[in-house]
Structure 1
Amino acid sequence: MLKGTLYALVAGLMWGMVFVAPLLLPDYPPALQSVARYLAFGLIALPLAWLHRGALRRLDRADWIEAIKLVTVGNLLYYLCLASAIQRAGAPLPTMIVGTLPVVIAIAANLRNGRRDGRLPWLRLAPPLLLIVAGIASVNHAELAALRHTHEDLARYAAGALFACGAVACWTWYPLRNADWLRHHPDRNPRAWATAQGVAMLPLATLGYAMVWGAMKVGGNAFPMPLGPHPALFVGLMAAIGLFASWLGTLCWNEASQRLPTALVGQLIVFETLAALVYAFVLRHHLPAPPALFGIALLVAGVVLAVRVKPVLLPVAEAGGGPIAG
């Protein structure tokens, strides 16, 4: 439990970086940021694939198809939705919406994985979930209050909220599906599985980059391809996110998913929300307001309570939910 929680913490610290990149690259289209991040991930995975070549040889055709599904939905589509949301609504609102993932995943996993993982008792699961929800609402109180009193860019904010909901849908599916594979292959190396996802991503991201470039050229977009108006910043950020958020974050999340019940590890995605908020406030060069500090305290309290909830094994007749069908 302790190792799994620490791995989830490191994954959250790495993934929090992705909320900052769209703010640092406001001139870059979200689609370009998405494919560039994962192109870097794929290139980083190539030398790692040599190190893990023995484990990768054990993967069959079905495993590689599964890796492609995971990276398409959980990486490319998720980051496209997230970057679009942040560029339209700023960081706080998408962070709040994506921050509901611990609740959404915990409920979904508790409903579908009772037979495999045991079920977290709803009465004991409710208090940490409520604390997490209250913390997220408190952190974003100022932004939501501002939205209620202004009509400027209301449509843009609404579009950002919709894109953030799309990101939630993608990342509700990804950890459940990824945990299914890892729990059904306990003999496989989670590090090699993270590398396999990077290798599977490389051709998809390369094709995506070419398609974005071609679409800009056909549409007469004046954006300076292939690296945009700030090539050094763009390449550096994409490389950093590809290494730390994509590969290291996925590796640590795989380690956590193999050690913890899916309903519990789903709640620990709250570490990503906490890290994103800390990075955003550092970028703004000021301390959080009192409601935000109170919300962060509630989030931490919710996580502490959540990791203390132990799953209860159910009789086969009562245990419902199996893995997602292929």
Structure 2
Amino acid sequence: MLLGTLYALLAGLLWGLVFVGPLLLPEYPAALQSVGRYLAFGLIALPLAWLDRKALRQLTRVDWIEALKLAAIGNLLYYLCLASAIQRAGGPLPTMIIGTLPVVIAISANLRDARRDGRLPWASLAPSLLLIAAGIGCVNQVELQALRADANADIGRYALGGLLAFGAVACWTWYPLRNADWLRAHPGRSPRTWATAQGIAVLPLALIGYIALWAYMGVSHDSFPMPFGPRPGFFIALMVAIGLFASWVGTLCWNEASQRLPTALAGQLIVFETLFALTYAFILRGRLPQPLTLLGIALLIAGVVWALRVKPVALPDTQAGSAH
């Protein structure tokens, strides 16, 4: 439990970086940031795949199809929605909506995976979910007040950003549940190998997406300078950094956590991503968070600590099934 939680903490620290990219590259299309990040991830995975080639050869056609689905929805589509949301609504609103993931995933997993993982009793889980929800509410109340006070705010643009953030939530509710299914069904397989496999699977998708976007911009006479934009050095360096640390190392850490923890609990630990994303946002702003924000962070941490104390209860069917 402790090691799994530490892996989830490290994954959150690294995944928080993905919220920074769209803020540092506001003039770059979200689609270019999405395919650029995962093209970098795929290229980074190539030498890792060579080192891990023996284990990768053991993956079946069905395994590769699953890796392709996970890469398409949990990587490319998720980041396209997230980057688009941040560019339209700024950092706070998408962070608030993405911050609901621990609650959404915990409830989804508890409904879906109780037979496999045991059920986390709702009465025991409720205080944790309420603390996390209250913490997210506090953190974002300050941000929403700032949005309302902005006379230049484009409400329609913010609303579209919010809808796109909900799209990102849908992608990343599906991803950890399906990813955990594969990992729990293959306990003898290395989480590192599975992270590399997803990098290899996303490479052709990202390459096709990059070429298609470049062609579309050429046909539509878009003035954006392809292939690397107005700040090519910075764009490439940022994509490589996010591709390596957030995509490969972050996925590796999350896979390690997913093999050690019940899915409902692992889902709640995505709260670390929200905490680190907020931390990075305040570092970029160059100011300390307000007291209500700090209270929210404290509530989030309290909710996670509470969740770690909840033990899964095996269902009768689970016990009967294990006897056969």
- TM-score tier (shorter): over 0.9
With normalisation by structure 2, the TM-score equals 0.97
With normalisation by structure 1, the TM-score equals 0.96
Letter in 2 for 1:278: T
Paired position in structure 2 for 1:322: none
Paired position in structure 2 for 1:312: 313
Superposed CA offset, 1:19-61 (max 9, x none) = 0110000000000000000000000000000111111000010
Greater helix share, 1 or 2? Answer: 2
The Cα shift of 1:308 comes to 1.2
Paired position in structure 1 for 2:165: 164
Superposed CA offset, 1:186-213 (max 9, x none) = 0100000000000011111000000110
CA distance in 1, matches of 2:86, 2:49: 33
Q: SS at the partner of 1:20?
A: helix
The Cα shift of 1:130 comes to 0.6
CA distance in 2, matches of 1:150, 1:7: 39
The Cα shift of 1:143 comes to 2.3
Alignment of 1:1-326 (within 5 A): 1-148=1-148, 152-316=153-317
CA distance in 2, matches of 1:40, 1:219: 26
The Cα shift of 1:71 comes to 0.4
RMSD in angstroms over aligned alpha carbons? 1.3
Structure 1 unpaired stretches of 5+:
320-326
Of the structure 1 ranges 301-310 and 142-151, higher mean CA displacement relative to structure 2 is found in: 142-151
Superposed CA offset, 1:100-145 (max 9, x none) = 0000000000001011000001011010111111111101112223
Structure 2 unpaired stretches of 5+:
none
Letter in 2 for 1:123: A
Paired position in structure 2 for 1:324: none
Letter in 2 for 1:280: A
Superposed CA offset, 1:130-166 (max 9, x none) = 1111111101112223444567300010000000000
CA distance in 2, matches of 1:156, 1:308: 41
Of the structure 1 ranges 308-317 and 149-158, higher mean CA displacement relative to structure 2 is found in: 149-158
Superposed CA offset, 1:39-86 (max 9, x none) = 000000000001111110000100000000000000000000000000
Question: How many correspondences in the alignment?
Answer: 319
CA distance in 2, matches of 1:317, 1:106: 19
The Cα shift of 1:318 comes to 10
Letter in 1 for 2:84: S
Letter in 2 for 1:239: V
Q: SS at the partner of 2:176?
A: helix
Identity over aligned pairs, percent: 74
